Amino acid sequence: MGPFGHVVTAMVTPFDAGGAVDYAKAAQLARRLIEAGNDGLVVAGTTGESPTLSDEEKIRLFRTVKDAVGDRAKVIAGTGTYDTAHSIHLSQEAARAGCDGLLLVNPYYNRPSQDGLYAHFRAIAESTPLPVMLYNIPGRTAVNCTPDTIARLAEIPNIVAVKEAAGSLDQVSEIRIKTPERFAIYSGDDSLTLPKLAVGAVGVVSVAGHLVAGEIQQMIRAYFAGQVADALRLHRRLFPLFKVLFITTNPVPVKAALRLLGFDCGRPRLPLVDVTPKEEEQIRAVLRSLDLVPTPV
């Protein structure tokens, strides 16, 4: 098992009808997710709509979620930005809030070189005692943190993991070959979790974990127990859900799914907008197929 467990859900940020952060609902959601089988939670990541959260909202969310789950789960603060000094500030505030780790996304928009990525992540890691999970998602950040750079970063004692979302099994294989065994690789894509386990991952930072964390846990544990056919069966069952949660920009579909399950976390903040009626029906159909919502008589 990796340093943050097998299943870590990147938690949505609940908003009230006026668009303000609903901290009471965030605490409720955090407890719900841990009771459902998650080992940890990412707070104020991309799924948590971090680009539209103020520093004050993020820091209060860190504290709120950690207070809600206590020692029952790891709370990982999304503190990475495209500004190293700002990222250091948020990371130090996350430590003061009691968080258990940091998720540091590649700097976005300014597109640093590989040496720039190394210097950025190293500076943040050295500013805090918290364990760090890198987050490599070139589709959102326009820069890929290469396996060679990740291997260099893995030499820093408190950089302990990567959430790998480049969509490449070859890249996961290269990272596994070039990093020590203690360095954990997490899938950043629910639909690729099972194949990534086969080439060296230990778990997933999930969106679907809002809805089916227990079954994702079963899939991962079955794989590591050598019950590959059982793991594949669960992957096939959950695959339509993994895909429908990305029919439009994350976290729009998962917020709609939670609403359909009776746990309304509000609509996303602009510039994101809610699902269309057609998209909502697609999501509802998949939830029905998994018996997560009742089928109409």
Catalytic residues: 135, 163
The helix (run of H) or strand (run of E) holding residue 257 is: helix 252-260
Name 70's Cβ contacts closer than 8 Å, sequence gap at least 6: none
The helix (run of H) or strand (run of E) holding residue 159 is: strand 159-164
Task: Report cis status (omega within 30 of 0) of the bond before 296.
Answer: no
Cβ atoms 202, 2 nearer than 8 A = yes
Q: From its phi and psi, is residue 105 left (phi > 0), alpha (psi between -120 and 50) or beta? A: beta
As a whole number of angstroms, the distance between CA 150 and CA 134 comes to: 8
As a whole number of angstroms, the distance between CA 142 and CA 91 comes to: 23
Cβ atoms 102, 128 nearer than 8 A = yes
Sign of the alpha-carbon torsion through 133, 236, 46, 212: negative
As a whole number of angstroms, the distance between CA 113 and CA 143 comes to: 8
